[in-house]
Structure formats: C-alpha cells, structure tokens
A and B are shown apart, each in its own frame.
Chain A
Amino acid sequence: MSAPAEEKSSFVINGKSWSGAVHPLKRLLDTIREDVGLTGTKEGCGEGECGACTVFLDGQVVMSCMVPTCQAEGKQITTIEGLAENGRLHPMQESFAQEGGAQCGICTPGMIMAAVAYARDPGSAEDMREALAGNLCRCTGYIRIFEAVKKAMAK
C-alpha cells in the first residue's frame, strides 16, 4: 500500500481561513476535529445516520462525516463554534441552554446547527419536526428540543 497522498486544502471556517495538508478523501468531520482542532462537531455514527456531525457548507446543512474534505475546497464552513457572534450566543444556543434542550449534550451541537438552518426558512411545526428528523437524540425524547427551537423562533 502506498502512503495516502496528502494535498494542500484550504477553506474558510467560522470566518477564518484555514489551510493544511490532508488527504482529499479524508472526512470533513475528521479534518475539522483533528486538523482544524474544533471538536464541537461530534461523531455519533460516521455513516450519515445521526446528525451529530452537522455543519454548514456554504450555508447548506451537511453531515460532515459524509463529505470528503476536497469538497470543501475554497468554501465557507460554519460549525457550532462559529455560531456565536461578538461573544454573544446565537439565540438558538441561548434557547437550548434555557429550555433544557441539552442533556448529555453529545447530539446538541448537530441539533442546534439543524435548528439554525431551519430557522432561516421556517415553516409549520410539522416542517420543524421534518427539519430535525435526521438528528438523533437518545436522552431527551426531543420534547425540550422542540420547545427550545420554538422559543428561539419566537425571539
């Protein structure tokens, strides 16, 4: 087996340029966690099933475990660490904290990212459920999460 060929990769993450040498097929999730060093984005399955790894890629919701790093080339990535602005929490983060939307908290970053994406173009309560249906949580039974999103939307 030949050594995996690393290539130079560059993108903007949470408003800051980043470049480094990574294998082009390395999962974006791993690049974010290992190379960029931001571990707020979690791995729950690595197979696109749980949503714990949800980030924005050029504003679109993606599961970063399913995206090869080369696909992020030159693009804008937002992770949970990039939601707060000027030291102020995003209303969705605030609301999750206040409403008890996080229990063990491992699904929380991904859940908040999905909720923030939904909030940009909201619909009915049913649409809200649809938007979060790809994010699994084993602790909360989703009730406090649902309430947290509703409350953030009302702000």
Chain B
Amino acid sequence: MSFSSDQPSQALRDARAGDTVRVLRLEGQEAICSKLREMGFCEQAEVRILNNSGTMVCSVCGSRVGLSRQLAGSIRVSAAVA
C-alpha cells in the first residue's frame, strides 16, 4: 500500500484541535497498530481532533476516542482536509 508515501504528512499529535485529517499510515509495533485499526484509525479513515491540550481527543468513526500523546505520535496523518 504505497498510495500515501508521496503525500505531505504530519504526526496526529501535531494536528490542531478542530482540524479534520486523514490517516495515512501507522508506525510502531504491529500489535499496537492493529489495536489502533480496530479502534477506527485505519488507513484513509477521517479523524477530527476535538482536543489537543494535554490529552488528545479525536472523533473517529462517530465516537470520541482519547489517546496518549505517545500513541498520537505514531499515527501519520495528512494535512487538514476541508
């Protein structure tokens, strides 16, 4: 799956509250990546950042998911989409 390799990307951790971004790829341990996917952070999934002060809170798959900043650092996402 190389469709995303040439797109500009950032870590989810660096996205701003209020932005909507698209997941490009997951980095890190396989077991943790598959957990992330099952929580809805699949490649191409849309994620809206609800809160990014201290704790990351995202809206993904219609529900509110909190994740640690460390984890948010291992999710590469696109720049904000409209």
- A and B are partners in one complex rather than unrelated chains: no
